[in-house]
Structure 1
């Protein structure tokens, strides 16, 4: 997969859904491209930490509007993300393939303890990320001006954004009652 597609979709989907993405946290051991994409949002302060629960635990409560994570996740990690997100924050994370139904159902059920909206979305090569939000819906609350005003993008745009959430009927049926939209 082209790295720019992954980075653009991981960053711009949650940032362009957020009402104000002033503080963005990236949790990754290889955050260079993600950081470059986040920097396109001039109004945002970007913080990068490594995939380490102790680093996440040391962050202040209610600080971040958006958290993007490539960290392997468990209940303790999600509790920390919930703690550091603002009351209307968005969280995007990598996850097992949607074909791994049981693992994803466990993951999404855990995330449902913290987020009103949990939706997988296509990140460009047939794989998906999970979009989780405490308040805003990724297709109803997209900030079109923010999405359209980004310069120099190779993939992401305001048409790709909602289209990324389209899922086949077999996925909808398999995850009925688990995906929260």
Structure 2
């Protein structure tokens, strides 16, 4: 059997599967979980595919690009998705606490065996799961001046989270694909013109067309300010390294020319 995923009706990807394990309809999301001989389990959430065998690509890249670009991050927020492995990677950085905002407990709890560090991260005293409504959470955070040094969004509905970012904060978000949806990508980046640093980046060697992201910062540059000693000292990694961090921000010259004046680097 094959699991088929189309991207904006332009490209179709197929994954060979053995059988469907379960299907769950949560408060706002629908999860289908499949078994695959090559990829391990495959999670299909609202049309987005997560491969168990390649979780380290997104998890390590987003966590460590953010935490290794900020001089002294103390608080991080993950929103817009279910990849709790990002929280596990962030807690590898000493003194960094992580909040994970996700309301849909039915879907999240079904993924307990999908994420290798699901149970251990919930036992970590620097991790908190927040099931609050997004608007209420943002309002309360602003009122309490409870701001974050790092915000990582796994979808592109991220503009409102600028309010909870500290003065030297880093915002990382999924964005439309630079080659398949250039007009949408350009429009998305224009919405963050108030940041001093604004750069798109990709996940090298990723099998997912969704691994296209934006780095926005009020202070730190992801390549000029990379904390090389911190990046090189990280343990138990499968994907991330300092050279890969730097190469993630290399984009084709034709796209770079089109984004001249929008990208800030």
Q: Specify if TM > 0.5.
A: yes
User: Partner of 1:101 in structure 2?
Assistant: 182
For the aligned residues, what is the CA RMSD?
A: 1.8
Once the two structures are TM-superposed, the CA of residue 57 in structure 1 deviates from its matched residue by: 3.2
User: Partner of 2:168 in structure 1?
Assistant: 88
User: Partner of 1:177 in structure 2?
Assistant: 261
User: Partner of 1:111 in structure 2?
Assistant: 192
User: Partner of 1:31 in structure 2?
Assistant: 83
User: Partner of 2:134 in structure 1?
Assistant: 53
Query: What TM-score results when the alignment is normalised by the length of structure 1?
Result: 0.89
Q: 1 or 2 for the larger relative contact order (CA 8 Å, sep ≥6)? A: 1
User: Partner of 2:240 in structure 1?
Assistant: 156
Secondary structure, in 3 states, of the residue corresponding to 2:169?
A: strand
Once the two structures are TM-superposed, the CA of residue 62 in structure 1 deviates from its matched residue by: 5.6
User: Partner of 1:19 in structure 2?
Assistant: 71
Q: Describe the superposition over 1:91-120 as per-residue Cα deviations: whole angstroms up to 9, x where unpaired.
A: 00001111212111111111112x111111
CA contact (8 A) 1:12 1:38 kept: yes
Larger Rg, first or second structure (1 or 2): 2
Number of aligned pairs? 176
Once the two structures are TM-superposed, the CA of residue 177 in structure 1 deviates from its matched residue by: 1.4
Per residue, is there more helix in 1 or in 2? 1
Query: What TM-score results when the alignment is normalised by the length of structure 2?
Result: 0.62
Q: After the TM superposition, which residues 113-152 of structure 1 pair with which residues of structure 2 at under 5 Å, given as runs?
A: 113=194, 115-124=195-204, 125=206, 127-152=211-236
Secondary structure, in 3 states, of the residue corresponding to 1:17?
A: coil
Change (3 A) 1:62 1:137: farther
For structure 1, which segment, 43-52 or 6-15, has the greater mean C-alpha deviation from structure 2 after superposition? 43-52
Change (3 A) 1:70 1:57: farther
Which segments of 5 or more consecutive residues in structure 1 lack a partner in the other structure?
A: none
Once the two structures are TM-superposed, the CA of residue 160 in structure 1 deviates from its matched residue by: 1.0
Change (3 A) 1:21 1:33: same
Secondary structure, in 3 states, of the residue corresponding to 1:111?
A: coil
Distance 2:55 2:83 in 1: 11
Q: After the TM superposition, which residues 70-81 of structure 1 pair with which residues of structure 2 at under 5 Å, given as runs?
A: 70-73=154-157, 77-78=158-159, 80-81=160-161
CA contact (8 A) 1:26 1:67 kept: yes
For structure 1, which segment, 37-46 or 123-132, has the greater mean C-alpha deviation from structure 2 after superposition? 123-132
- Tell whether 2:93 aligns with 1:41: yes
Which segments of 5 or more consecutive residues in structure 2 lack a partner in the other structure?
A: 1-50, 104-132
